């Protein structure tokens, strides 16, 4: 079938983004609670940039957001608290930070999530029924997956020592019967 949409290049949004490897979610794009289409990416000096795609403007630049290069991002709409949350990772120092997009404040800083290796991936898991949020993280050096609550407390470990893990993700099915 030749029913493919025709795509055309519009413009460069940035030439400054940096990442050290092809990993999961080196940037993220989402529609905010305020209906803005936001691109989030990092640049040198460990900064996080928030770019409004529709209005072609830089919304904010959090300088020195981490102490080492930022390698991953995840977004979630926290419906329980009517806010957008951004998760950022610095893999070499095993650091996870959670940001409230409304005011660009860091609301959680989990340092040294693992003892060895690299923090390869992390994601949100929101339980809308019980109104709780979690962070799941993975380290490829045979340490277990870890589950943190949104206060930063490690509440559970999932042992995965048999294999190396490089990515963790969650899926939300909005269908309700």
pLDDT tens, 130-143?
889 999 998 877 68
pLDDT at 173 over 70: no
pLDDT at 51 over 80: yes
CA 12 to chain centre: 23
Structure tokens at 166: 């490089």
DSSP 41-84: EEEGGGEEEEEETTTTEEEEEETT-SSS---EEEEEEETTTTEE
Residues contacting 61, CB < 8 A, separation 6+:
47, 48, 49, 50
The pTM for the full model equals 0.86
């Amino acid at each position: 079938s030749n029913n493919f949409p025709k795509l055309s290049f519009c413009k460069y949004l940035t030439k400054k983004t940096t990442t050290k490897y092809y990993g999961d979610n080196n940037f993220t794009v989402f529609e905010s609670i305020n209906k803005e289409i936001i691109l989030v990416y990092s640049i040198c000096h460990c900064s996080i940039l928030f770019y409004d795609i529709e209005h072609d403007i830089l919304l904010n630049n959090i300088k020195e957001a981490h102490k080492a290069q930022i390698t991953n991002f995840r977004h979630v709409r926290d419906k329980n608290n009517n806010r957008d949350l951004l998760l950022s990772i610095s893999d070499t120092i095993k650091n996870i930070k959670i940001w409230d997009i409304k005011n660009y404040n860091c609301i959680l800083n989990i340092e040294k999530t693992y003892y060895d290796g690299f923090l390869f991936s992390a994601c949100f898991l929101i339980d809308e029924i019980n109104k709780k949020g979690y962070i799941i993280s993975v380290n490829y050096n045979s340490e277990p997956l870890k589950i943190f609550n949104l206060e930063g407390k490690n509440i559970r470990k999932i042992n995965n020592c048999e294999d190396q893990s490089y990515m963790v993700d969650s899926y939300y099915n909005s269908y309700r019967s």
